[in-house]
A and B are shown apart, each in its own frame.
Chain A
Amino acid sequence: MLTTLQIFLIQSWQTLFIALRALRRNKLRSSLTALGIIIGVAAVVAMVAVGNGAQASITKQVAALGENLLTVFAGSKSSGGVNSGLGSASTITLADTEAIAREIADVVAVSAEDSTSAQAIANGRNWSTTVVGESPQYLQIRDWKLTAGSMFTDREVRSAAKVAVIGSKTALELFGPINPVGQSVRVKNIPFVIIGLLESKGAGMGGQNQDDRIIIPYTTAMKRVTGDRYLRSVNLQIRSSERMEIAQAQITSLLRQRHRLTAGQDDDFNIFNQKDIADTVSSVTEIVKLLLGAISSLSLVVGGIGIMNIMLVSVTERTREIGIRIAVGAQPSAIQLQFLIEAVTLSLLGGFVGVVLGIVGAQLVGIVSTFQPIVTAESIVLAFGVSFAIGVFFGFYPARKASALDPIEALRYE
């Protein structure tokens, strides 16, 4: 003896075939109806993938700055109405750097930075690049590794040695694919011995290529290359991310004291907190992701309304068919189920094709852009779930209408 549930399941199964047959009879209309859902789902899947990819790429760039990084920039300088930007003012001295290292307990690594752009000549070629003076701790602060050779030492800093660590891009331009360690490079007519090759790090936050640079001891940079007596910035690594804000406050008060700034005066320096940047960036990308998702969800709703519209037309058009089915003994629930299954099948098929198109679309975006979109399983499951829900929601009313038809009226319908 069959239970009520079994009977219901068998009848649902049969109804599924009735519904599929009805959809097959109207292939063109069915596919046009599903198109709304296809576009909606494809848009959601692709946009969320693009959002995820962009977020991941930006997060990676922020992380590439180094761990628990604080950067103190000298203030900006205006002369004749032309503002030269951050680091241009002569406010940060080596003494400031030493004071920070000595007095701020949470600072674990310090690197004074002085930079300029210069023409590098080697191997019969020349290349315009950025020459940056740093401390040996710089690589630790930036979480940067060498693929060959070694970093200069504190001793080489003290002696203002003419040694350099070279970025992978600069090395490639000057020396080609060979190992540049041990080679010589001339900057502003000063010969430097290359002692290390930096690992490739890719584009930085501002889009500049971090691999196109030559790093030399800051003492060498100031004395021999730039002639600067002040620093552009100081890179600092803080013990832990929880101590970042405290350290930032301590450094601010230390520098204000050292620069003799009174209470009303503005800081003549700026402190950048990597965590702040990361937080800001991730909140921005979160908003962008939400926006992308919301906009593409709208097209899903429009697609759902399309399904409802076609289902209503279909119910009207098939009034006679419904009348015949009811006359030969179809239960109202069977009619309702048939139209509901038709709507859900349309939306699920649309969802399936949409997911495929969305993945393809995300790959295409990956080809033309600098980052790789990330299609997550959650977004696919969500897209399917939403298309199912849309089918049920927008199919319910037409199905209800079909099942409530009066068979006598329906059979008379022309």
Chain B
Amino acid sequence: MILPVIQLRQLVKTYQTGDVAVKAVRGVTLDIARGEFVAVMGASGSGKSTLMNTLGCLDQPTGGNYFLDGVGVAGLDRKQLAVLRNRKLGFVFQSYNLLARTTAVENVELPMLYATPVISRRERRQRAIAALEKVGLGKRLDHHPNQLSGGQQQRIAIARALVNRPELVLADEPTGNLDSRTSIEIMGLFQELNASGITIVMVTHEIDIAAYCKRVIVMRDGKVISETRNATRRSAANELAALDAVETEAQLN
């Protein structure tokens, strides 16, 4: 049996704010297998962000167990969590979170700077360029984020997430700041990456974005209330082709 990338067992996360204990996640049990593309949906306050932070090893659960690629995360210290994030996880954020005044290629190199064992300068550069080419930004290597569009910035972020060859890419509302066509393009990129074997977990509150994923998990009040497989997945590639056809037609008329 192949080990799931993520195994959650009765995961609990409680925040202590003053005298009040806020139970953000109240017992989630979930397996995510290698090669899956999962959307996590839910209203704000449903616990989906907290769940993502915990999955991303940015935060420790207060109860239950979390195994990432077979490694028990509960009880690890800050240093060990940093190593785990560096080796096994890639992050894509709604607001891109790129370093300003830093070129695209340097942004993509960032996770490799903190890798153990050490990655040589030349290999870092090569891998960063390869990752940028993979997301279609091979010609924008030396551009700074503020010289690029939102969609292009998100592509840099995706390249950065991929560059350390992670087990899992975690995306938090990756299309939240993008227009609808760029959103479709980014989802197309995710679908492509997923097809090449990368496991993706994405938080979104838009049903039509979730429709590009293979599986949709809906949370409410810190619990998973439904889990469905998308029988009919949207295909970003087909939609983009259709959009292009419409545009070409409009230009011809």
A→B interface (CB under 8 Å): 2, 7, 10-11, 14, 18, 25, 320-321, 323-334, 407-408, 411
Residue on B nearest A411 in the bound complex, by CB: B97
Structural contact, A327 and B91, CB atoms closer than 8 A: yes
B→A interface (CB under 8 Å): 53, 56, 58-59, 78-79, 82-87, 89, 91, 93, 97-99, 101, 110-111, 113-118, 160, 164
A304 and B99 alpha carbons, distance in the complex (Å): 28
A79 and B14 alpha carbons, distance in the complex (Å): 100
A329 contact from B82, B101, B117, Cβ within 8 A: B82
Q: Besides A14-B113, A328-B86, A329-B89, 11 other CB < 8 A contacts?
A: A2-B118, A7-B117, A321-B99, A325-B110, A328-B110, A328-B160, A329-B87, A331-B79, A331-B82, A332-B82, A408-B59
Residue on A nearest B85 in the bound complex, by CB: A329
**Neighbouring A residues of B91 by C-beta, 8 Å:** 327-328
**Neighbouring A residues of B85 by C-beta, 8 Å:** 327-329
A71 and B235 alpha carbons, distance in the complex (Å): 110
Structural contact, B99 and A10, CB atoms closer than 8 A: no
**Neighbouring B residues of A11 by C-beta, 8 Å:** 118
**Neighbouring A residues of B118 by C-beta, 8 Å:** 2, 7, 10-11, 14
**Neighbouring B residues of A411 by C-beta, 8 Å:** 93, 97
Closest Cβ of chain A to B91, distance in Å, is 6
Structural contact, A331 and B114, CB atoms closer than 8 A: yes
A330 contact from B59, B82, B97, B117, Cβ within 8 A: B82
A320 and B84 alpha carbons, distance in the complex (Å): 21
Structural contact, A407 and B114, CB atoms closer than 8 A: no
Structural contact, A332 and B115, CB atoms closer than 8 A: no
**Neighbouring A residues of B117 by C-beta, 8 Å:** 2, 7
Residue on A nearest B87 in the bound complex, by CB: A329
B97 contact from A14, A25, A320, A334, Cβ within 8 A: A320
Residue on A nearest B53 in the bound complex, by CB: A408
Structural contact, B114 and A327, CB atoms closer than 8 A: no
**Neighbouring A residues of B111 by C-beta, 8 Å:** 328-329
Residue on A nearest B52 in the bound complex, by CB: A408
Closest Cβ of chain B to A354, distance in Å, is 28
User: 8 tightest A-B contacts by CB?
Assistant: A329-B86, A328-B111, A330-B114, A329-B85, A329-B114, A10-B118, A407-B58, A331-B82
List 18 A–B pairs whose Cβ atoms lie within 8 Å, in order of A's numbering: A7-B117, A10-B118, A324-B98, A327-B58, A328-B85, A328-B86, A328-B91, A328-B160, A329-B83, A329-B87, A329-B89, A329-B114, A329-B164, A330-B114, A331-B79, A332-B82, A407-B58, A408-B59
Closest Cβ of chain A to B145, distance in Å, is 12
A399 and B161 alpha carbons, distance in the complex (Å): 26
A369 and B93 alpha carbons, distance in the complex (Å): 66
Structural contact, B101 and A328, CB atoms closer than 8 A: no
Residue on A nearest B101 in the bound complex, by CB: A25
Residue with the highest number of chain A CB atoms closer than 10 Å, among B82, B89, B117: B82
A176 and B242 alpha carbons, distance in the complex (Å): 107
**Neighbouring A residues of B78 by C-beta, 8 Å:** 332
**Neighbouring A residues of B56 by C-beta, 8 Å:** 327
Closest Cβ of chain A to B88, distance in Å, is 9
Structural contact, B79 and A7, CB atoms closer than 8 A: no
**Neighbouring A residues of B101 by C-beta, 8 Å:** 25
Residue on A nearest B117 in the bound complex, by CB: A2
**Neighbouring A residues of B84 by C-beta, 8 Å:** 329
**Neighbouring B residues of A327 by C-beta, 8 Å:** 56, 58, 85, 91, 97
Structural contact, A334 and B99, CB atoms closer than 8 A: no
**Neighbouring B residues of A332 by C-beta, 8 Å:** 78-79, 82
A334 and B112 alpha carbons, distance in the complex (Å): 13
**Neighbouring B residues of A25 by C-beta, 8 Å:** 101
A411 and B78 alpha carbons, distance in the complex (Å): 16
A25 and B106 alpha carbons, distance in the complex (Å): 14
**Neighbouring B residues of A328 by C-beta, 8 Å:** 85-86, 91, 110-111, 114, 160
A20 and B83 alpha carbons, distance in the complex (Å): 24
Closest Cβ of chain A to B45, distance in Å, is 16
Residue with the highest number of chain B CB atoms closer than 10 Å, among A7, A328, A407: A328
Closest Cβ of chain B to A121, distance in Å, is 82
Q: A321-B99, A324-B99 are in contact. Are A408 and B114 (CB under 8 A)?
A: no
**Neighbouring B residues of A325 by C-beta, 8 Å:** 110, 114
Residue with the highest number of chain B CB atoms closer than 10 Å, among A2, A327, A330, A407: A327
Closest Cβ of chain A to B141, distance in Å, is 17
**Neighbouring B residues of A7 by C-beta, 8 Å:** 116-118
**Neighbouring A residues of B79 by C-beta, 8 Å:** 331-333
Closest Cβ of chain A to B150, distance in Å, is 17
